[in-house]
Amino acid sequence: MFKKVLIVEDQEVANLGITQTLEGLSISRFEFVTYCDEALQRLKKAAAEKEPYDLLIADLSFEKDHIRQNLKNGQELIREAKKLQPELKVVVFSVEKRAKVIDDLYKIYGIDGFVSKARNDGKELRNTIGKVFEGEIVMSREILNAIRNVPFALNAYDLKLLELLAQGSRQNEIQAYLKDHQMQPHSIRSIEKRLNELRDSFGAKNNVEMIVICKDIGLI
């Protein structure tokens, strides 16, 4: 089992649950920090002393206070931690529900497991840590099914259309933006056509419903 664990979490209640989970796995050497910058410094210090952590458990979002932080969220911490220690195992423990965001954690940031903060999350966290230790990449069936519904074929042009639409831009304003940024096609007719195609792809009745769907799955 893992010998040395670093937990990055700013909620005391969550920390109590994590403590119970780790003790149940007979992991006795673990440390808590509440800031991502401090976590990275501890990772660097441990690596320099040839006593690296072998598991990082991290939340994604942290409450802001008067202490200025260079690393703004868990994603930035994970990115820097992996640069420092590529073999480090990472489990994210978060309330995040957006499928695209979670999928990016695996594909872009290289995490090994994701556990949703919810009822019975202690059991899921324990099972996930055990499987990650055995070398598995752990993704729950619920998350996997949600990710399968994300239309990854969307390109930069499509995402910009959706983003502008979500901001309340009208078609003439979208056209002006596309022209200014040399994005093709930018005719009103082409914009209308692509929005119709996107609504069909999402199974949305109108633009409002399409934007709601996109926000739910973390595309915008």
d(CA 87, CA 137) in angstroms, rounded, equals: 13
Q: Return the CATH number at 170.
A: 1.10.10
Same domain for 124 and 62: yes
The pLDDT tens digits of the residues spanning 160-207 come to 999 999 999 999 999 999 999 999 999 999 999 999 999 988 888 999
- Residue 18 reports pLDDT greater than 70: yes
What's the sign of the alpha-carbon dihedral 26, 116, 153, 172?
negative
**Pick from 93, 118, 148: which residue ends a domain?**
148
Q: What is the mean pLDDT of the chain?
A: 89
Contact status, residue 66 vs residue 113, Cβ threshold 8 Å: no
The pLDDT tens digits of the residues spanning 34-84 come to 999 999 999 999 999 999 999 999 999 887 777 788 898 999 999 999 999
Same domain for 190 and 100: no
Residue 116: closest CA among 142, 90, 95, 144: 95
CB within 8 Å of 201: residues ≥ 6 apart: 151
**Pick from 123, 148, 173: which residue ends a domain?**
148
pLDDT band at 33 (very low <50, low <70, confident <90, very high): very high
Q: Which pLDDT score is estimated for 5?
A: 95
Same domain for 90 and 33: yes
Total domain count for the chain? 2
Same domain for 177 and 107: no
Same domain for 114 and 89: yes
Which residues of the chain form beta strands (DSSP E)? 5-8, 30-33, 55-58, 89-94, 113-116
Buried-state track 12-40, b at ≥16 Cβ within 10 A, e below 16 = eebeebbeebbeebebeebebbbbbbbbb
Same domain for 111 and 32: yes
Same domain for 30 and 123: yes
Same domain for 112 and 52: yes
Same domain for 101 and 44: yes
Same domain for 50 and 115: yes
pLDDT band at 14 (very low <50, low <70, confident <90, very high): low
What tokens were used for 126?
A: 């324990």
**Pick from 148, 166, 190: which residue ends a domain?**
148
Same domain for 192 and 118: no
Rounded alpha-carbon distances, angstroms, from residue 169 to 4, 180, 196, 204, 214: 51, 15, 16, 19, 16
d(CA 145, CA 8) in angstroms, rounded, equals: 28
Domain hosting 12: range is 5-148
What is the β-pairing status of strands 55-58 and 89-94? parallel
Same domain for 172 and 78: no
Q: Return the CATH number at 61.
A: 3.40.50.2300
